[in-house]
Structure 1
C-alpha cells in the first residue's frame, strides 16, 4: 500500500477530489442505510400511529442541523466537522466535546452497522461476517476517498432499487389500507418525541459531507448544495417507505415486526421478495458502515492535529492522500467491538451523542455574522432546541450512558489542561 511518511513538518493536507454529485452520494449512503430497515419498528413502538409525525419532526430538526452545518462547512472547509466549528466559534472545549461525542458514538454505530450486515447476510455467523465487512471497507477507505465514493454510488443504487420494489409491492397489494395512516389514541406526545429521536439516527449521515470538507472541490459552493440535496432526497424516500409499510402492516404490526420491510412484502403477498429485501438491508448497512468509517477517521485526524488525540494519527498517506493511521485505528477498534459485543442497544446511545454534536453545531452557527453566511436566526435556534429536546426524550438508559460518556470526555479534557498548565512556566 506504499510507505507512509513520518517526516515532521506542517499538517499534511488531504486531496480535493469530490464534486457535488460525489458528496451527495456519500451523504445518501450514510442516511439511506440500515436505519430505514431497522429504525421503523422501534420508532413505531414508541409513537404508534404518530410515526409519520415523528418522521416529520426528526426531518425538521435534521434540516436545521443540515443548514447550520452547511454554512459552517463552507466557512471552515477542513476535516473534522463540528469539532472544527465548535473550536473556532465557541472555544477549544466545545470543539473537543463535539469531536469526542462524535468519535465515541459513531464508533459504536460502526460496530452496530457491521453486526447488521452479519445478521442479514449470515445470521449464524453474524460476528464473523461483521469483522470481515469492517476489514474489507477499511481497505477500501485506505485506497482513497474517490474509490469510497464510487463504491457508495453502487450501494445507494442497489438500496434504492430494493426500496422501490418494497413500495410498489406494498401500495399495489390488496392489503393496503390508507386508514392506518391516521393518528389514533395510541400516539402520545412523549412517544412521538422519543420516536423522532430514534429516527433522527437515520438522518444524521449528512455530517459525513461536512467531515470530508478537506476533500471536496470548491467547498464554499459544493457543501451548501450537497447537504440539503442529500437530506431532501432521503426525507422523500423515508416518507414514501414509511407510508407504504404502514398501509400494509399498520402501527401495531409495524411495532411488532422484527424485519419490517420483509414482513411488509410478505403481508403484501409477494413473499418471494423477502430474500431480496434481506440482501438490500445487508448492502445498506455496508453503505452506512463505509461512510461511518470515513467520518470517524476524519474527525480523529482533526483532533490528532490539535493533539487532543495522539499526534501520530494526524499522518496522511503520501500516495493515497487519506488519514491512513486514523483509518487503521478506527478499523481495529470496530473489529474488536464487532467480534465481541452486541451493540444493538448502542443505537440510542449513538443518537444521544449525535444530537449533542449537532447542538454544538447550531450554537456555532448562531455566532456567524451575515458576511460569514449566517443562516436565518430561527434555524440554529430551532436546531439547538430540537436537538436538546430529542436527546433527553430518548430512553433513560441511552440518556444516562450518553451523558456519562460526555462527562468522562470533559473530565479527561480538564485533567489534560491542568497537567499542561503545571508544565508551563
Structure 2
C-alpha cells in the first residue's frame, strides 16, 4: 500500500451501518415538517418519489463504485466517464452541499440538547460537537464505524418506540392519509426534493470504496440493504405522523415526531425522542464528515484543491489533513447557517452531484435507471424553494469560475 492509499478494512455489515448512519439522522426528525407544508396530505407520494430517485441514484452509484473502487465517489465517476470538468462539478457540489448538511446536523444536536441557549453559545457548542467527531474520525474509520453502529441502533429504537406509541396510545385518524387533499404536482416534487435531504447518504458507502473489502460484492449489497431499511423506517414514521397530527400539524411542528408522541399522552416518552434526535444527528454528522473528507482527498490528489490535503496519516490510515480542514469549515458554517435553509441548499447541491452520477452510469449501458435518476434529480432540484435554487446556482457558478481560472 502506498503512502497516500487507504487500507481496506470495512466489510458488508460495517458498510451498511455507515450508510444507515448517514441517512437516519436529523433528516427524519426535521425534513417532514417543510415537506408536509409543501405537499400536504400527499406527503406519502412525495416520499415515494424521493425513494424512487434515491433508488436510481443508489443503483447508478453502486455500479460505478464497483468499476472505480476509489475514494471520491461521483467525483471519480464523472472524471472517468464524462471528463475532468464534470467530475470536478460533482465533487464541488458534494463538498459544499454536504458541508451545509454537516452544519445542519451540528445545529440540530444543539437545538435538541440545549434549546434554551442564547447568544454565541449555540454556535460554540455546535463547533465543539464538530471538533469531537472530527477527532473520532481522525483516529481511524473502524472506530468511527463502531460508534456509528451504536448511534444508529439507538436512533432506530427511538423511532420504533415513537411509531408504536402513536398506534397504541394515540388517536389515529385515517383522514390524514387522504392524498386527494394534496397541493398538486409542484408541491409533491418540492416536498420530494426536501425529503431527499433525509435520504442522501447511501452513496457514503461508495465514497468509502477505497476502504471496503471486496468492493465488487460488498458495495451493491450494502447500498441495497441500507436504502431498503431506511425507506421502510421513513414510511412507518410518515404514516404515524399523518394519522396522528395530519399534514397541517406536521407542517406547524418544530419537532413533529416529538409532537406526535406528546399528543398521545405519553409525555414521558418525549425526552427519549429528543435524545434520539440528538443521537441520530450525531451519527449522521459522523458519517458526513467521513464522506466529505474522502472527496476532498480525491480532489486534492488531482490538485483541484491544495495537494497537501491528500496526505494520509501513516499510523491511523486516514486523510487527517482533509478531515481537520473539513471540521474547521463545518464549525464556522454552523455558527451562521439557518437549519431549514441548509436543508434546501444541501438538497440542491447533492441532487446536482447525483445527476452527474446518473449521467456517468448512462455510459455503462443498461440506461433506463440512469435516465430515470437523472430526470428525477433535475426535476427535484428545479422545484426546490427559490432561495435554495438561486443560492445553489450561485455556489456552483463560483466553483465553475474557479475551475476555469485554474485551467488557464
Give the TM interval when normalised to the shorter protein: over 0.9
Cα distance in structure 2, aligned partners of 1:112 and 1:360: 24
Whether 1:111 and 2:107 are equivalent positions in the alignment is no
- Kindly report the root-mean-square deviation, in angstroms, between the aligned alpha carbons of the 2 structures: 1.2
Distance 2:403 2:148 in 1: 36
Q: Give the distance between the partners of 1:174 and 1:140, measured in 2 at CA.
A: 40
1:16 aligns with 8
Q: How far 1:174 sits from its partner (Å)?
A: 4.2
- Tell me what 1:416 maps to: 406
Q: Is residue 2:397 matched to residue 1:401?
A: no
Instruction: Note the 1:61-210 alignment, pairs <5 A.
Output: 61-123=53-115, 124=117, 125-210=121-206
User: Aligned partners of 1:174 and 1:399: how far apart in 2?
Assistant: 39
Answering whether residue 218 of structure 2 is matched by residue 229 of structure 1, we say no
Give the SS at the match of 1:380. Answer: helix
Q: Given the two structures, how large is their TM-score scaled by the length of structure 1?
A: 0.93
Contact map agreement 1:43 1:255 (CA 8 A) in 2 = yes
In the alignment, the residues of structure 1 paired with residue 13 and residue 233 of structure 2 have an alpha-carbon distance, to the nearest angstrom, of: 18
Instruction: List structure 1 runs of 4+ shifted beyond 6 angstroms.
Output: none
The alpha-carbon deviation at position 31 of structure 1 amounts to: 0.4
Q: 1:332 aligns with which of 320, 328, 333?
A: 328
CA contact (8 A) 1:108 1:343 kept: no
Name the structure 1 match of 2:382.
392
Contact kept? 1:262, 1:278, Cα under 8 Å = yes
- CA distance in structure 2 between the partners assigned to 1:253 and 1:104 by the alignment: 32
Q: Distance in 1 between matches of 2:6 and 2:259?
A: 44
Structure 2 unaligned residues grouped into runs of 5+: none
Partners of 2:140 and 2:14 in 1: how far apart? Answer: 13
- Counterpart in the other structure of 1:5: none
Q: Which stretches in structure 1 are left out of the alignment for 5+ residues? A: 1-8, 369-373, 419-425
| Contact 2:3 2:314 (C-alpha < 8 Å) held by counterparts | no
TM-score (norm 2): 0.97
- Partners of 1:314 and 1:174 in 2: CA distance: 53
How far the C-alpha of 1:253 sits from its partner, in A, is: 0.8
Q: CA deviation at 1:129?
A: 2.4
CA contact (8 A) 1:122 1:129 kept: no
- 1:57 to 2:49 alignment: yes
Q: How does 1:356-395 map to 2 (within 5 A)?
A: 356-368=352-364, 374=365, 376-395=366-385
Q: For 1:373-423, what per-residue CA distance to the aligned partner results, in whole angstroms no more than 9, with x for missing partners?
A: x5x3210000000000000000011111101111111111111111xxxxx
Instruction: Tell me the CA shift for residue 344 of structure 1.
Output: 3.8
